[in-house]
Structure 1
Amino acid sequence: MLIGVFSDVHDNLENLQAALAEFKSRGVETLIFCGDFCSPIPSREMGGGFAGDIHVVFGNGDGDRFAITGVAQKMFPNLILHGEHAELELGGAKIAVTHYPFYAQALARTGDYDAVFSGHTHQRHQQQFGDCLWLNPGEVLGWQGAPSVAVYNTQTRTAEFVELA
């Protein structure tokens, strides 16, 4: 299974649309968003712009969680909000998700997961802890460099960074 991993949109709808198009073109089946929509507007774009499930954790920049939750509940059942963290089993892989890298690193070191995904730093990062891959896909925003996402393959347990044009 191919999983699209992305983070830190910060209301950049143009780059978000590019990310969703990239995921579709690569045959991604489900998405994991590691936090920081900022406003509810990107949640509408996400929910309406991708047909599969979109698993979401909140980040520190998600100021109006009430409105984001309302968008998910009323308009887009494929937008699955998990709160501050998530534990998922997708394509046979056990995955933990958090916005924060310090939690992600601790989770990756436990050996309980095949992959742990985080965001927050706006920097791409990939590190192996035993059999667990810790991945930060970078930022959709494009504030600290080229905007990027990642695609995680549950069969090979590997990830590829994808820069957005």
Structure 2
Amino acid sequence: MLSQTLLAAEVAEKGGLFDFDATLPLIAIQFLLLVAVLNALFYEPVTRTMDGRSDYIRTTQAEAQDRLDKVVALTRQYETEISQARLKAQQLIAEAEAAAARIRSEKLAVVQAELQEKLEAARVRVEEEKQAALSQLQQQVDAIAAQITQKLLGSTR
């Protein structure tokens, strides 16, 4: 046992704290091999998955932006179509109101003309009846006046 302790003390004195013999390149090779294995087994699939997700997110975002642009364009198109339809509807309403007013005024003119004709015919008939009544009254007045004159003259004779 004593010999082993002396041997260990001798080895420790040779290299000191750092001993750069064949173990350093061996540890470096082990480290590089470990990095290669970790890269192949863990980091590459994770990186591939993250790249795939990034691509998916980019494409989804681009598609969403395209859809949003289409929606905005369709919204503008529909708003212009709606405003044009409203203008057309207002024009149709104005035309219909004008046509209704024109028809109403034409019918009113026709009715007023008919009324005027009927009033004129009634006035003429009333005038004729008045003249007939006046002439009849005049005859009766003349007949009564003749009777009165005859009675007055007949009683004085």
Give TM-score, length-normalised by structure 2. Answer: 0.11
Greater relative contact order: 1 or 2 (C-alpha under 8 angstroms, separation 6 or more)?
1
The answer to which structure has the higher helix fraction is 2
Give TM-score, length-normalised by structure 1. Answer: 0.11
